[in-house]
């Protein structure tokens, strides 16, 4: 709570100093929300669970008071109403929190300094992609999607720190290097800092924004390959001192017009050494080593069907924990776009196959709107 208060004071101090000299036209406000109905087979004491929730609701403020200084804030609530989940301090359940809050010093397009709470720049799926513009109804299961948890240390996918990033070579390359807090509890007795880095090569059109889209609906031609690394040393994991957490990942992304529409495909492999997180769906525990893999693809039909455009998709995800049973997730569904990502209806059906509960099914209905 103290850190949230500090962020609030920092944000309003920044605005009070520069805001009275700022053209209000340079400040943008927006709102975006997802509402869900979710049916979970064997979801509560072995019985079916019917869950209505506000999956995400974001009020965002973005400003550029000078040519070199800018700010961004997401005031958010996640999973409001989800059965059995409530963490008000992080804006999960009944709480409201700053999901993102940063100030950026932009010296040029190739070198920017960003300070505050922001994405952990490790993976594409939840390190650069906006959850407002996903191909699939939600993130991959191991990155907090559907009813899953995030495999790396985070504050709902974010961390507090400083990131150096930029887009040299006309955006053909993007780099992000973060120094942040990572684990802050008794598992990190020496208060070691966390180092995270990501590099992406864009072979067709560049992606130069902080938030990418998970599908561009035929508006861009993207072929990119990325790699990331996340490290925090000298931790206490599973009661053992001196454990070094190391995660590395490689990923690829394709979005390109094809025939009367556009194809989107994305895949990644993630290797975890000395995990910091537990995950009940996969038996992943602190100190474990694991490999994660996912691939998903979809096709956007540019010819309207009724009053909107259809985009079916499929996703497969696998989690292999060393010396433990594997878990797999198979998802299929579609998006129906009424006004791009700002007005869409989605259906997702996921089958979870893990040792404790064979073939558990989860069906999700989503309505997303934004302005």
pLDDT in tens, 203-220: 999 999 999 999 999 999
pLDDT for the residue 280: 79
pLDDT for the residue 186: 94
pLDDT for the residue 356: 72
Q: For tokens 């990131």, what's the residue?
A: 163
pLDDT for the residue 282: 87
pLDDT for the residue 1: 44
Is the pTM above the cut of 0.85?
yes
pLDDT for the residue 158: 97
* Positions of the chain with pLDDT lower than 50, given as ranges: 1-2, 4-5, 9
Give the integer Cα–Cα distance in Å for 120 and 41. 32
pLDDT for the residue 283: 86
CATH topology classification for 36-370: Porin (2.40.160)
pLDDT for the residue 357: 72
pLDDT for the residue 226: 98
pLDDT for the residue 57: 96
Instruction: Choose among 121, 101, 222, 225: nearest CA to 163.
Output: 121
């Amino acid at each position: 709570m103290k850190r949230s208060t500090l962020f609030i004071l920092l944000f309003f101090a920044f605005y009070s100093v520069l805001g009275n000299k700022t053209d209000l036209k340079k400040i943008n406000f927006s709102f975006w929300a997802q509402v869900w109905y979710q049916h979970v087979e064997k979801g509560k004491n072995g019985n079916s669970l019917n869950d209505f929730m506000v999956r995400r609701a974001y009020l965002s403020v973005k400003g550029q008071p000078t040519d070199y200084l800018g700010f961004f804030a997401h005031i958010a609530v996640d999973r409001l109403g989800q059965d059995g989940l409530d963490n008000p301090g992080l804006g999960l359940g009944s709480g409201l929190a700053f999901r993102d809050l940063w100030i950026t010093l932009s010296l040029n397009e190739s070198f920017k300094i960003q300070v505050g709470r922001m994405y952990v720049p490790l993976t594409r799926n939840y390190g650069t992609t906006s959850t407002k513009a996903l191909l699939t109804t939600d993130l991959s299961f191991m990155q907090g999607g559907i009813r899953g948890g995030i495999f790396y240390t985070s504050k709902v996918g974010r961390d507090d720190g400083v990131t150096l990033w930029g887009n040299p070579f006309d955006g053909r390359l993007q780099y992000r290097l973060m120094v942040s807090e990572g684990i802050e509890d008794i598992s990190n007795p020496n208060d070691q800092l966390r180092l995270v880095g990501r590099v992406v090569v864009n072979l067709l059109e560049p992606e130069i924004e902080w938030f990418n889209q998970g599908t561009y609906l035929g508006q861009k031609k993207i072929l990119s390959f990325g790699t990331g690394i996340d490290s925090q040393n000298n931790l206490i994991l599973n009661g053992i001192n001196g454990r070094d957490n190391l995660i590395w990942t490689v990923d690829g992304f394709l979005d390109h017009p094809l025939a009367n529409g556009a194809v989107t495909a994305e895949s990644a492999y993630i290797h975890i050494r000395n995990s910091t997180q537990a995950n009940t769906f996969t038996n992943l525990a602190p100190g474990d080593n694991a490999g994660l893999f996912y691939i998903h693809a979809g096709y956007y039909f540019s010819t309207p069907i009724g009053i909107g455009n259809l985009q079916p998709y499929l996703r497969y995800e696998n989690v292999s924990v060393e010396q433990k049973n594997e878990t797999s997730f198979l998802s299929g569904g579609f998006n129906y776009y009424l006004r791009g990502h700002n007005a869409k209806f989605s259906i997702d059906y996921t089958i979870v196959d893990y040792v404790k509960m064979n073939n558990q099914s989860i069906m999700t209905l989503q309505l997303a709107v934004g302005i």
